[in-house]
Each structure stands twice: as C-alpha cells, then as structure tokens.
Amino acid sequence: MQSLASPSDLVELLPRLGRLCPAESTRLFLFENDRISCVAQLQADPATGTASDDDRPEREIEQAVSAGRPAIVEPAIRYLAPASHPLNWLVLPLAGGGVKHGALVLERRELFSGEDLTVMTVYTALLGERMTSAAREAHVDRQQRELEQHLLSQRRLLEINERLLSNVDPAGVLDLIADSLKSLVSYDNLTIYRVDAEAAVLRPVLARDRFAALILSMTLPIDRGITGSVLARGAAECVNDAHRDPRANLIAGTPMEDESLVVVPLRVGGDVVGTLNVGRMGEEGHFSTHEFELVKLFAGQASIALANVEAHRALWARAETDALTGLRNRGAFEQDLEHALGDPRLASVLLLMIDLDDFKLYNDCHGHLAGDRVLRTVGEVIGAVGGAGYRYGGDEFAVIVSNGTATDAATMSRLLAVGMASILHTGETPLTASVGAALFPEVAASKDALVAAADAELYRCKARIDGLRAADPRSN
C-alpha cells in the first residue's frame, strides 16, 4: 500500500475502490480543526448523476463517522420499480491508533451487502492505520529537525550533548550528566531533584556527595531553601557562600560547612520538572560568572536529554502496550517470557494461557463496541489477579508468574472465575474462560515448549466445557 502522507495520496486511491466495492459515487471526508468536510468526490459515471445534498442523510453519516463505526445507511422509503430505487450509502470511518482522520462514503442504488461492509471495513481500517503511521512519522521527523537545529546552536556543548542524547537509559543519562558536567566545571557535590507536585516535595534522583545515601533517602519541601526559591522564580541562581544565605536549608544529618551553590531549574516542555544543584566546598570555592553560565547552558542540554529519555520510555511503553486493554501485548509477552526463563534468580515460572469461551458469539450478538468494553474489563480482571498480564491476541490472554506454583495456578483461576462472572449484567449468561497452566522447568524446558504445554492444557479444559478450571500445570 502506498504512502498516505497527504490527502492527495488518498484521492489517488479512490478510483481503485471500485474493484473492491462498486459504487456510483465515492466521497472522501477529512477532519480539519475538529470539523469534517468533503475534500474529494469521484463519480463512476457522470451520466448517472448523484444525489443532491438535500437527499443525502448527512446527519446519519456524521453520526457514524463521529462514532467511528462503519454503517450502511438506507432510505426510509424504498420503491418497487427498479428505476425508482433511491440511493444507499456505505459510511466507512478512517481511523487508526485512536486518531480519527475522516471517512469514505460510497453511494449506489443497489443495496450494500454485509460482505461489502466487511471487505471495506477491513480495507479502511488499514488505510486509517497507514494515515496515523504517516502522521506520526512526519511528527517525529519535525521533532528530529528541531532537535538537530538546537544542537547546532549549542556549539560549545556539542560533544557532551551528543553523548547525552545517544543514551536513553534513565540511570545512564543521570550518571552521564554528572560526569559530563565535571569535565566543564569542577564541583564537590551534585544533586538532581525531581519535582513531585502532588506531594509538594522534591525527590532526589541522583547524588554525587559524601552524604549521597542520606540525601537520596530524604525529600525536601518544595518551597524551602535556596532550591525552593529557584523553583518559585523559575530562574537559576549562583549563591557563593551559600551557608551564609538566610534561605539556606541544612539537610538533616549533614554538617554546616562553607559551600557555594549553583541551582538551575530543569525544564521539559516549558515546565520546571526539577533542579540541578552543584556545590563547591570551602571559602575559595566560589563559582565565576563564566562557570555559572556554563552550568546554565549545560542544564539546558541536560533537560533535553531527560526529555529524550522520557520520550523514548513513553514510546517503548506504547509500543509494548495493548491499546484496548492496557495490558502488555504479544511482543512484550515473547520478550518477557524469554527473559523470565533465562533469569537464574527464578526457581520456576508459571504460565497461564486464557481463552474467553464463545466470545465471538457475544460479539455477533452485541456488537464489537460491547465486545471491546468486555475485553477492557477482562484486562482489568487479569491485571488484578497477580503476575504479569498480557493480551496474547484477540480474545486470548496470558499471565506470567515468577516463582509460581501449582497452588498459584489454582488460586488465580478461582480469582479469574469470580472476576469474569461479574463482568456482564445480571440476567446475561456469565462470561467464562478456559485456562491452561504449565510450569517451567518442571513441565517444559523452553519458551516454545512452555507455551505449547499451557495451550494444550487450555484446549483440554475447553473440551470439558467447564470454563476457568485450570488443568494441573505439572501434568504434561
């Protein structure tokens, strides 16, 4: 499928839609500033004419697009004479990754079938995902260009900055900040604090100090001392002979000593998220104006590095999370299970494979939106029973339990049974699931063998039509 980076790319696809679902007219709607409007229209045969705006059920079309659900819209009155047949509409929202882009609206006199709806729903779902992917790629490209321009403007710190941005490990970046600054400005102690606005405190995340263990074990009031003053003003301060400053706040358990201090706010997206505190001991330990400027410049680069780490961490979290249930996804499951089986600290690994019983029937009866709500709640139930929960695919789930036992398997199956049974409304057939359990290394000695063993138990359980009666994980 071609790139969908611009509306013109979509317009070029319109003539091809007739191969999948013939239509007399196809219109492309796109959202702009939260308003949807028609940006292109393709008429298969200009001689046939199209419906006037007054004839089109615009309200029903907009409702379907806003709800994000494909829909067949038929006229209220249908005439017996074939020549008098009014138009029908097939509304196909374009959405992907939680982003609504617009819709394709097909119209023709022949009734649209369920097969037409299914085929075009799959196709437009792919289009929506490609549109979201293209928009995100463009956004990432813009961010990268802005970052490169900023790096060029920081010539004096280029080498350090490149090292900072190349490290996306949170602990590694903090250590790199401390080591890199010392090569620019000598110091005796350094502390990085992170703002916890909800608790109204500063939490130390890195300390290079002979009292580091003590500093890291304590929090500071957000409005106290020289650091609190810097946060309140949002401006860096160089305070030579800080021990004589009336705002000085001595950390409990540390001695009063001659010290000069530079405190610089750390910003992410314009918001102050913490401070970089640099100290030098002794009466001759004053910071020069030049050193103060260097620390401020460096803090700006450190802020970018910390934002970069947060962005990468958020990106990886999104990439490994199932958007519907909030559980980790299949890719994360494969990675985590491999890691758990290779962890020498673990004596055993319990794997539960879970499959909802007759869930397709529930979807067919109640619709996919209702099914999605059930899956979200199932995710909450699985997340609450212990272990690490995953959406394996469709209506299949998995749980990995480090140092798990057969007793854990039975206990968790009972908890799942109670949780599943409470999901649907009173009067509805309770939701059940089949569970297969397997233990490593007792039953299986490899990842694939463990999954296969749990799967085999799951289907033995399902064959008994008991629902949520896990087989003995030691039985293979």
The whole-angstrom separation of Cα 468 and Cα 415 is 9
Tokens matching residue 268:
């992410």
> Which segments of 86-113 does DSSP mark as H helices, in order?
none
**Dihedrals phi, psi of 277, to nearest 5 degrees:** -110, 120
Q: What was the pLDDT predicted at 231?
A: 92
Q: What was the pLDDT predicted at 151?
A: 47
Q: Are 378 and 468 in contact (CB under 8 A)?
A: no
Angle at which helices 447-463 and 330-341 cross, to 10°: 120
**Looking at domain 155-315, what is its CATH homologous superfamily?**
GAF domain (3.30.450.40)
Q: Which CATH architecture has domain 330-463?
A: 2-Layer Sandwich (3.30)
The whole-angstrom separation of Cα 48 and Cα 27 is 16
Angle at which helices 289-319 and 170-184 cross, to 10°: 170
The whole-angstrom separation of Cα 235 and Cα 245 is 17
Provide CATH 3.30.450.40 ranges for the chain: 7-144, 155-315
Confirm whether pTM is higher than 0.85.
Answer: no
Q: What was the pLDDT predicted at 418?
A: 86
The whole-angstrom separation of Cα 152 and Cα 291 is 21
The type of residue at 214 is L
Of 360, 69, 297, 358, give the one whose Cα is nearest residue 161: 297
What sign has the CA pseudo-torsion 395, 401, 406, 407? Answer: negative
The whole-angstrom separation of Cα 421 and Cα 468 is 10
Q: Are 413 and 425 in contact (CB under 8 A)?
A: no
Provide CATH 3.30.70.270 ranges for the chain: 330-463
Q: Are 154 and 300 in contact (CB under 8 A)?
A: yes
The whole-angstrom separation of Cα 164 and Cα 177 is 7
Q: What was the pLDDT predicted at 473?
A: 56
CATH of 7-144, one of 1.20.190.20, 1.20.58.60, 3.30.450.40, 3.40.50.1370: 3.30.450.40
Average pLDDT, consecutive stretches of 10 residues, N- to C-terminus, the chain (476 residues): 63 80 87 80 66 66 77 68 70 86 88 90 87 83 64 49 56 73 86 89 88 90 92 93 90 88 87 90 89 84 71 64 87 89 92 90 87 90 90 92 92 88 74 90 91 91 58 52
How far is CA 179 from its chain centroid?
Answer: 32
